[in-house]
Structure 1
Amino acid sequence: MPILKTVKKVPGGIMVVPLLIGAIINTFFPEILNIGGFTTALFKTSASAGIGMFLFCNGAQINVREAGSSVAKGTVLTLVKFIIGAGLGLFIGSTFGMAGVFGLTPLAVIASITNSNGGLYAALAGQYGDSTDVGAISILSINDGPFFTMVALGASGLAEIPFISLIASILPIIIGFILGNLDEDLREFLKAGTVITIPFFAFPLGAGLNLFQLASAGVAGIVLGLLCTLVTGIAGYYAMKLMKSKKPAVGAAVGTTAGNAAGTPAALAEIDPNLAAVAPTATVQVAAAIIVTAICCPLLVAYLDKLERKKCAN
């Protein structure tokens, strides 16, 4: 049975198929993943460890002469996310107030669009890009959390960049980078880990999602997810084209919202009580955006990659 070939026919299939299976099981049969032992450890709680291993193996593939490219790409993509998310959210807030428009709150817009799913970006970069694209996660990790949301809402005086968390996110890349440049054989040995680890952390990422959240969020939540994928994804794609990237489709991999963004509205409501009234609505909308972007972003990246390969073939 050609399982792998079938999976690869799906755009971003190595990432998307395990993620969707995990989400479906967690939605309808969550008890299966919580029986404990190796089953829960592998299929429910291993996402962070899997991503860490993936980043370590990819770090080993970055040649020291290419490190500057990773920093440049990460910086540009981070700015794309922040400028679009903050600009759109503040426009909605200043024009329609914190209640938003058509049910879409500015808090939800900023929290979801300025944030990106580092694990999903890394997986897509590993599949459609090169080691310098994966290395960009060292800078993109800065937008992982509520910091940029606080800045955009004028609360930067109350926020501090979590440097320890940032270091913890990029340390596997740094260690892999050092070892890979010290030993070419080690770099080659770790190369397989840049692919084989993807489905093993994609499934537990999906196992943290619940498809019923889409229904409770309504149309506004779905629109928010599509907005995040299309607007920031396409902007990231063109940003990479302007940088003369060999594989610009990877830029669209920032069109996601990370799972931890769902906790941002509540966290900000504790800091600013004026946000308490819209925080519950924003939380559900952000949760919907997480699911929608996890499904749609890989499809967008795969489409743009196919487009680029057609152009190169002509």
Structure 2
Amino acid sequence: MNIKDGIDRLPGGMMILPMFLGTLFRTFAPAAPAYFSGFTEGLMTGIIPIIAVWLFCIGASVHFITAATVLRKSGTLVLTKLLTAWAIVFLVSHLIPPEGIKTGLLAGLSVLAIVCAMDMTNGGLYASLMQSFGSSEEAGAFVLLSIESGPLMSMIILGAAGVAHFKLQVFIGAILPFLAGFALGNLDPKLRGLFSPGCKLLIPFFAFALGNTIDLHTLLSPLAALGIALALAVIVVTGIPLILADIVIGKGNGTAGIAASSTAGAAVANPVAIAAVAPQFQSTAEDATALVAICVIVTSLLVPIMTGLWHQQFGRKASPLQRLPRSKAPLGPSKL
């Protein structure tokens, strides 16, 4: 049976399907973890330690030299995404109360949901799109996009926007697994080879545990419409600056900007992870998780379509040399 091939046909399938399975348990058998107890309970509820190991593996997979090279060529996408997310969070923090919106059409929306939806790009989706529509340098931005993974950047943005204040030891504790993996992976290539596969290997496990925090009734509530609206906002609000940055700074045609305007599947875990170290967000974490999950699904479906359309319209422009008449083309060395 080609189970994995079937899962891979769904954008973000290795994250979405295990998470959906966990959601079914939480919705229809909420007592299952306590009933089975033991290792099964740990697998269903141990999202924090699983994410900690996942962050360590991500750190081990990032090669310092490679990251520096890619930064010179296409790191502008990462910086643009983070700065845009910070600007939006800074703005909405003056409009949305810390406990989120409780009534009306926007009930369930919070600063936590917005930052987690906007600050992380789906690196795997981006890399696959740029392999088809971009250059190897643009596709290589996947390395830097991996640095966005986990709650670290969300915490930095929340702190810089004045929404939350994290104690130094809490902040260090959030980034220590990543830094430890980064150090070991760069000190010994064999350790990088050992731990790097964990980046993909652990995704279905923490996705399943994450699903056990989501009640399907929440996803079928008015939050669904709000989540779709938030997903469209992610594409538009982050996509426009990314396109401009790719054209003006990156000297591209904007295709990479569109491809980076998604929400990462791993971002679904951020509300819970942040609430674990910042109790002031616990009241909004559940709704934020549901909203971000919807953003992942919607952006994973729309961004590839929009990237293909953009590339078809603007990405196939001939170079100046190709546009020159053949008789006026510069002579090569052999004709001098």
Q: TM-score, normalised by structure 1?
A: 0.70
Q: Which one has a bigger Cα radius of gyration? A: 2
1:309 Cα shift?
Answer: 6.5
Q: Which amino acid aligns with 1:185?
A: K
Q: Which amino acid aligns with 2:300?
A: V
The reply to whether residue 178 of structure 1 matches residue 190 of structure 2 is no
Where in structure 2 are the equivalents of 1:19-34 lying within 5 Å?
19-34=19-34
1:204 Cα shift?
Answer: 0.3
Paired residue for 2:231?
229
Question: Please, which runs of 5 or more residues in structure 2 have no aligned partner?
Answer: 128-141, 317-336
The reply to whether residue 134 of structure 1 matches residue 138 of structure 2 is no
Q: Which amino acid aligns with 2:123?
A: A
Check conservation: 2:227, 2:292, Cα contact below 8 A. Answer: yes
Paired residue for 1:87?
91
> Structure 2 vs 1, CA of residues 203 and 99 (structure 1 numbering), >3 Å: closer, same or farther?
closer
1:111 Cα shift?
Answer: 4.0
The reply to whether residue 189 of structure 1 matches residue 182 of structure 2 is no
Aligned length: 281
Q: TM-score, normalised by structure 2?
A: 0.66
Where in structure 2 are the equivalents of 1:1-314 lying within 5 Å?
1-34=1-34, 35-45=36-46, 47-67=47-67, 69=71, 75-88=79-92, 90=94, 102-104=104-106, 108-116=109-117, 121=120, 124-126=122-124, 128-129=126-127, 130-137=142-149, 141-144=152-155, 147=158, 151=162, 160-214=165-219, 218-219=221-222, 221-241=223-243, 242-243=245-246, 244=250, 248=257, 249-253=259-263, 258-260=270-272, 267=280, 287-301=286-300, 303-305=302-304, 308=307, 311=311
Classify the secondary structure of the residue corresponding to 2:292.
helix
> Structure 2 vs 1, CA of residues 9 and 179 (structure 1 numbering), >3 Å: closer, same or farther?
same
Identity of aligned residues (%): 23
Check conservation: 2:58, 2:178, Cα contact below 8 A. Answer: yes
1:11 Cα shift?
Answer: 1.3
Partner Cα separation in structure 2 for residue 116 and residue 141 of structure 1: 14
> Structure 2 vs 1, CA of residues 63 and 212 (structure 1 numbering), >3 Å: closer, same or farther?
same
Q: Which amino acid aligns with 1:36?
A: S
> Structure 2 vs 1, CA of residues 165 and 128 (structure 1 numbering), >3 Å: closer, same or farther?
farther
Check conservation: 1:109, 1:224, Cα contact below 8 A. Answer: no
Partner Cα separation in structure 1 for residue 156 and residue 280 of structure 2: 10
Q: Which moved more, 1:192-201 or 1:255-264?
A: 255-264
> Structure 2 vs 1, CA of residues 116 and 172 (structure 1 numbering), >3 Å: closer, same or farther?
farther
Check conservation: 2:23, 2:214, Cα contact below 8 A. Answer: yes
> Structure 2 vs 1, CA of residues 298 and 222 (structure 1 numbering), >3 Å: closer, same or farther?
closer
Partner Cα separation in structure 1 for residue 302 and residue 4 of structure 2: 20
Question: Please, which runs of 5 or more residues in structure 1 have no aligned partner?
Answer: 153-158, 269-278
Check conservation: 1:232, 1:252, Cα contact below 8 A. Answer: yes
Q: Which amino acid aligns with 1:296?
A: C
1:75 Cα shift?
Answer: 4.9
Classify the secondary structure of the residue corresponding to 1:253.
coil
Q: Which has the higher helix share?
A: 1
Q: Which moved more, 1:168-177 or 1:304-313?
A: 304-313
**1:141-184 Cα shifts (integer Å, max 9, x gaps):** 253499559836xxxxxx53333222222222212222222222
Q: Which moved more, 1:69-78 or 1:19-28?
A: 69-78
Classify the secondary structure of the residue corresponding to 2:39.
helix
Q: Which amino acid aligns with 1:198?
A: I
Q: CA RMSD in A?
A: 4.1
Partner Cα separation in structure 1 for residue 102 and residue 214 of structure 2: 26
